[in-house]
Amino acid sequence: MHKPSLIPDFAYDPPDTPLSILYEDPAIIVIDKPAGLLTVPGKLENRQDCLITRLQAVRWDALTVHRLDCDTSGVIIFARTKQAQGYLGQEFEQRRAQKTYVARLKGVLRPDSGTVDLPLGSDWDYRPRQKVDHDHGRPAVTDWQVIDRTESETRVRLTPHTGRSHQLRVHMLALGHPILGDQIYAPETRASHERLMLHAESLALHHPTSGDWVSFTAPAPF
């Protein structure tokens, strides 16, 4: 018997903020995505407003390469040609692209650094929730480094080596220190945090035209 979902209904209220273009040239566009905005249109009604739609309204040739969770802010790259889209797709698929995130975690995480190596898979009874799944999950690895601590939380820099759905959120939960403001994995923190405290701080990869190693950053807004 299918279990009822325990995930609260997703009320989509995208922010009315202007596009923040960090960089663009004839092959790529790099955006600082705001939290609360879908990367691509949702399947349900009233979820068509999204980053790619807004971007294509001013850059008609923009093409999706990868995604950030709706509640995650930060650096995201789009292609402007099919050739660039294919090249960048391989950068992510072959794990050549390097990403770092900043997050604020519940509680005091120790020691100062470490690695989470836990396979992840869908929690089919409670979608879109993901879970650690040693039997059927796909490999997932995240490095973490403490930036700062207070008496009740820890700021960390996260470096994922794989790109599983909700990877950083589930891996931090597995450490016992979920990301603050996470309505799926730490709903008790949502009342005191207006957003998910997770930001894609930097993205580095090979440029699809020149082949040069390029890097883009956007400081965390929290």
- Catalytic positions, written as ranges: 69
Q: Burial of 74 by CB count in 10 Å (0-12 exposed, 13-18 middle, 19+ buried)?
A: buried
Which run of H or of E encompasses 206?
A: strand 198-206
Give pairs for 117-124: CB < 8 Å, separation 24+. Answer: 117/141, 118/170, 118/171, 118/174, 120/164, 120/165, 120/166, 120/167, 120/170, 120/171, 122/165
Taking the C-alpha atoms of residue 34 and residue 211, their distance in angstroms, rounded to an integer, is 29
